[in-house]
């Protein structure tokens, strides 16, 4: 028998003293994961959230848990990120859950749905009203564990080649719009298109589509939409506070030591805050640049908003009747929405309305 091998496996050494490996080393194995993003590297805000999370994980584990981030298309296409986790191609993905609502409508609720809740309310629902637990109950059916890892805040309502004066102008529009919103806008006569962010400009330029939404001023400026579709509408009522998630293979998650799981979830939460703050810091300047570049800003006509709200409620009722998991999650979200907007009327809304008046009066 090889004596050294025997000693190593039994933990015994000369004189009977135990030489077990230090507990810290045993609890901190070296792990390397690959993470595929649904976004291109050029979008430093939304793509960058995954890099921020991965950096935090690496630093907190002294480099023992490394997550390598790949941009959309480097391993799999943007809209295949969740599938790549489920089938074991990669350990993790950073993506918008609603990209996969065609597989199951419940996916849409992880990112946010039309006339849902804003970014602050979304975080409150995730972290303190059971939203994370409900979403992971659903994600478990897909072989996934997921945590919020970024939020865009309230989005703009998209770029249009032609002016929208009334609900009638929405009919037959080929509109690149993400997630569940497409099912709702279909009821208004819109023809929704799901196109990855990196391909939107070319589709607008060639006239393949008539309109497109992405995120907001900072990203939209980078992508140059104002050059080919100058009419910029608001608000993005289908995305009042869109959450991104890091999705992990449930099998790989179960293999992580509890300390790594805690570090991972904390890093996701930190990246979630960081991404929202970055958008809030960068969007004002980008808005000014877009205006200087010829973008034409306008609110959606009231009849578009009201028809969209009514259509959304129809779709939610239909979907809830057919999908019990969707209904369970959606009911939790809308119950919280009632109280959240009640509180906002007393707090954020009244203060912000006053301050916006001062801004328009040039008193700020």
| pLDDT tens by residue, 280-303 | 999 999 999 999 999 999 999 999
pLDDT (0 to 100) of residue 9: 37
Q: 125-129, 198-202, 273-277: which has the minimum mean pLDDT?
A: 198-202
Measured distance CA(227)–CA(182) in Å, rounded: 24
Residue 29 has pLDDT above 80, yes or no: yes
Model confidence band, residue 5 (pLDDT cutoffs 50, 70, 90): very low
How high is the pLDDT of residue 227? 97
Residues 226-248, mean pLDDT to the nearest whole number:
97
Q: pLDDT, tens digit, for every residue of 295-342?
A: 999 999 999 999 999 999 999 999 999 999 999 999 999 999 999 999
- Taking the C-alpha atoms of residue 31 and residue 27, their distance in angstroms, rounded to an integer, is 12
For strands 191-193 and 243-249, give the pairing.
Answer: unpaired
Flag whether pLDDT at 137 surpasses 60: yes
Higher pLDDT, 191 or 3: 191
Model-level pTM? Answer: 0.90
In the numeric block, the tokens 């950096």 are attached to: 55
CB atoms under 10 Å from CB of 139, counted, come to: 25
Helix extents (H) in 61-175: 81-86, 108-111, 119-128, 131-139
Distance CA 82, CA 215 (A): 20
Angle at 110 between CA 106 and CA 111, to 5 degrees: 120
Rounded mean pLDDT, 121-135: 98
Q: pLDDT: is 2 or 252 the higher one?
A: 252
Q: pLDDT value at position 337?
A: 97
46 pLDDT more than 50: yes
Distance CA 136, CA 210 (A): 37
Alpha helices in the chain, H assignment, sequence order = 3-10, 23-27, 48-60, 81-86, 108-111, 119-128, 131-139, 181-186, 200-206, 217-223, 250-255, 258-292, 302-322, 324-346, 348-360
pLDDT at 180: 85
Which pLDDT score, from 0 to 100, does residue 1 have?
40
Percent above pLDDT 90 for the chain: 90
194 pLDDT tier (thresholds 50, 70, 90): confident
The helix or strand, by DSSP H or E, that contains position 73, with its residue range, turns out to be: none
Work out the burial of residue 301: count CB atoms within 10 Å of its CB; fewer than 13 is exposed, 13-18 middle, 19 or more buried. Answer: middle
Q: Report helix angle 131-139 to 119-128, nearest 10.
A: 80
Model confidence at 134: pLDDT above 90: yes
Instruction: Over range 204-219, report the average pLDDT.
Output: 96
Q: Residue 19 above 90 pLDDT?
A: no
pLDDT, tens digit, 9 for 90 and up, residues 138-189 = 999 999 999 999 999 999 999 999 999 999 999 999 999 977 899 999 999 9
Region 5-11: mean pLDDT is 35
Residues 61 and 53: their CA atoms lie apart, in Å, by 13
Instruction: Say how many C-beta atoms besides its own lie within 10 A of residue 30's C-beta.
Output: 9
Helices (H) and strands (E) in the chain, counts: 15, 11
pLDDT value, residue 26: 58
Give 247's contacts (C-beta < 8 A, 6+ positions apart).
81, 82, 85, 92, 93, 94, 95, 97, 139, 144, 145, 146
Mean of all residue pLDDT scores within the chain: 92
Per the listing, tokens 């293979």 go with 249
The answer to whether 115 and 237 have CB atoms below 8 angstroms apart is: yes
pLDDT grade for 4, boundaries at 50, 70 and 90: very low
């Amino acid at each position: 028998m090889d004596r050294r091998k025997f000693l190593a496996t039994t933990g015994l050494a000369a004189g009977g003293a135990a030489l077990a490996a230090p507990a810290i080393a045993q609890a901190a194995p070296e792990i390397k994961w690959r993470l595929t993003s649904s976004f291109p590297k050029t979008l430093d805000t939304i793509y960058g959230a995954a890099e921020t999370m991965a950096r935090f994980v690496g630093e907190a584990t002294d480099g023992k848990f490394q997550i390598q981030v790949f941009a959309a298309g480097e391993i799999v296409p943007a809209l295949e990120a969740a599938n790549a986790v489920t089938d074991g191609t990669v350990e993790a993905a950073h993506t918008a859950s609603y990209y996969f609502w065609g597989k199951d409508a419940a996916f849409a609720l992880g990112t946010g749905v039309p006339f849902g809740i804003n970014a602050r309310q979304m975080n409150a629902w995730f972290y303190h009203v059971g939203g994370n637990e409900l979403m992971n109950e659903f994600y478990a059916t897909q072989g996934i564990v997921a945590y919020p890892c970024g939020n865009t805040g309230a989005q703009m309502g998209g770029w249009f080649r032609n002016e929208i004066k009334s609900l009638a102008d929405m009919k037959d529009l080929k509109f690149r719009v993400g997630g569940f919103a497409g099912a709702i806008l279909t009821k208004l006569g819109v023809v929704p298109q799901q196109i990855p962010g990196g391909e939107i400009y070319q589709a607008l330029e060639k006239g393949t589509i008539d309109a497109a939404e992405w995120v907001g001023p900072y990203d939209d400026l980078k992508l140059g939409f104002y050059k080919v579709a100058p009419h910029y509408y608001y608000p993005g009522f289908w995305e009042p506070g869109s959450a991104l998630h890091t999705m992990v293979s449930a099998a790989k998650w179960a293999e992580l030591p509890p300390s790594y799981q805690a570090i991972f979830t904390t890093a996701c939460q930190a990246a979630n805050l960081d991404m929202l703050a970055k958008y809030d810091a960068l969007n004002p300047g980008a808005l000014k640049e877009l205006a200087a570049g010829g973008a034409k800003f306008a609110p959606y006509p009231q009849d578009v908003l009201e028809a969209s709200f009514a259509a959304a409620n129809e779709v939610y009722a239909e979907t809830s009747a057919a999908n019990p998991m969707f209904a369970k999650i959606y009911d939790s979200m809308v119950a919280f929405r009632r109280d959240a907007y009640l509180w906002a009327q007393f707090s954020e809304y009244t203060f912000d309305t006053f301050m916006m008046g001062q801004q328009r009066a040039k008193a700020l």
